[in-house]
Structure 1
Amino acid sequence: MKKLPIQPKHPERICWGCDKYCATSQMYCGNGSTRTMHPIEIFGEDWADMLSEEEKHRFGLTIKH
């Protein structure tokens, strides 16, 4: 899996449902008719703080406090 950005500038422009990170108008995976939202859109800017160390490692996140 690609490294997931912690705070992308415009998360609403991309589907985050797979490794392709397609533009919302060009979703190639066919996972449905709507895009998958980035966690920042669902949980807020501190979404990565809720993850365990294992999950942070799996998504390639480096959180600096």
Structure 2
Amino acid sequence: MAKPFPLNPKNPERICWGCDKYCPPDAMRCGNGSERTQHPIELFGEGWNDWGLAAADKADQDENKP
């Protein structure tokens, strides 16, 4: 079972987010390239999970409510 993905971690720059191992960037075990994968909050900022596919799913749920 995969670990739950944290939506707003305290120090996202200290971890590689490329797989479920969540290694420190200087000791990546997965061999997923030579650079760490950034957390979406580093790339897109606060509220990154409120747009895109997640926002479309939420809009569909809101429309279906009586």
Task: Work out whether the TM-score is over 0.5.
Answer: yes
Moved beyond 4 Å, runs of 4+: none
Percent identity at matched positions? Answer: 63
Say which structure is richer in helix: 2
Q: How many residues align?
A: 54
Unaligned runs of 5+ in 2: 59-66
Aligned equivalent of 1:2: 3
Q: Which has the larger radius of gyration?
A: 2
Cα RMSD of the aligned pairs, angstroms, is 1.5
TM-score, normalised with respect to structure 1? 0.76
Unaligned runs of 5+ in 1: 55-65
TM-score, normalised with respect to structure 2? 0.75
